[in-house]
A and B are shown apart, each in its own frame.
Chain A
């Protein structure tokens, strides 16, 4: 295997899943967002989004905070430092693979 393509091995499988990658992309570009914003931005169902957020939280990539604004519940999600680092690493590896494929 080409040296650059060996980056494929190191791709974070948790982030590689399209829905989780989409969630991470959105959270990477903002400070924090609530469940409803993510729901509208991703187009996922409530159950699906909830499941993926839980997976990301278990991995320590996303911090979830449940609060109340007045009488309305709000679930705030933000990427942790580990989540940001993992996402940046994922992007870097994907770029390496893309460049290697372009050279081939």
Chain B
């Protein structure tokens, strides 16, 4: 028998992805990072400036993630909550967060070890898209969002293509990120279109 509590939890988790807005935000972040890579690649910078560009990349990523969080929330207030309602997920307990952190650290270690031990260039180039695709499959399974499976296949395909083409430079990394970001943007737009097509704003109706 399915536990109704688990079902309700899963439904609330899935609800975050119902409108595709978070995927669109992820796509925009990846595209901006890709543009940053293209710009850095085009600028005649000395090798000694690497730490500046790397720090800039981290700062840009941090700023984009924070901005995306607020933008998605603001868009949900305007688009999603008036149509299908508002729900706030429960914050995990201290232990749950520790376990999640430990699992993430373990996965990062496994990833780093596999990456550093592989001698063949194609393995090194293919391993990132492979892990990304597996992560997207995991998300699709956990949140029961079928379009994530399409995204996982697409990620694997661009991984195979970038490996086949022998992507190595910063510009190539930018191309990969741009393709990955475009994928998220398109799946998000697909999700948003389906959502808007199947719902209507109910905010002006009395709530109770």
A residues contacting B by CB (< 8 A) are 22, 25-26, 28-41, 46, 50, 53, 66, 69-70, 72-76, 91
Give the residue name and chain of the B residue nearest to A53 (CB). B208
User: Which B residue's beta carbon lies closest to that of A69?
Assistant: B77
Assess A37 versus B87: contact at CB under 8 Å? Given A28-B8, A30-B12.
yes
Contacts of B82 in A (CB 8 A): 36, 72
**CB-based nearest B residue for A98:** B1
Number of A-B contacts (CB under 8 A): 82
A30 to B8, CA, bound (A): 8
The interface residues of chain A, by DSSP majority, are classed as helix
Q: Is the CB of B84 within 8 A of A29?
A: no
B84 touching A40 by the CB < 8 A rule?
Answer: yes
Check if A35 sits within 8 Å of B88, measured CB to CB.
Answer: no
A42 CB, min distance to chain B CBs, angstroms: 10
B46 contacts partner chain A, Cβ-Cβ < 8 Å: no
Query: Are B91 and A35 in contact (CB-based, < 8 A)?
Result: no
Q: Verify B202–A36 contact, CB threshold 8 A.
A: yes
Instruction: Tell whether, in the assembled complex, residue B87 and residue A75 are in contact, meaning their CB atoms are under 8 Å apart.
Output: no
* Cα–Cα, bound, A50→B9 (Å): 22
The answer to the question of B206 belonging to the interface, with a C-beta cut-off of 8 Å to chain A, is: yes
- Give min CB distance, A69 to chain B, whole Å: 6
A30 close to B81 (CB less than 8 A): no
Tell me if B94 is interfacial: C-beta within 8 Å of chain A. Answer: no
> Counting CB contacts under 8 A, is B85 at the interface?
yes
Q: Which residue of A37, A70, A91 contacts B85 across the interface (Cβ within 8 Å)?
A: A37
User: Do A32 and B8 have beta carbons less than 8 Å apart?
Assistant: no
Chain B residues with CB below 8 A from A30, complex form: 8-9, 12, 87-90
The reply to whether B85 and A25 contact each other, CB–CB distance below 8 Å, is no
CB neighbours of B204 from chain A (8 A):
72
Q: Mark B79-100, 1 if CB is under 8 A from A, else 0.
A: 0011011111111000000000
B residues in contact with A72, CB < 8 Å: 82, 203-204
Tell me the bound Cα distance from A103 to B208 in angstroms: 45
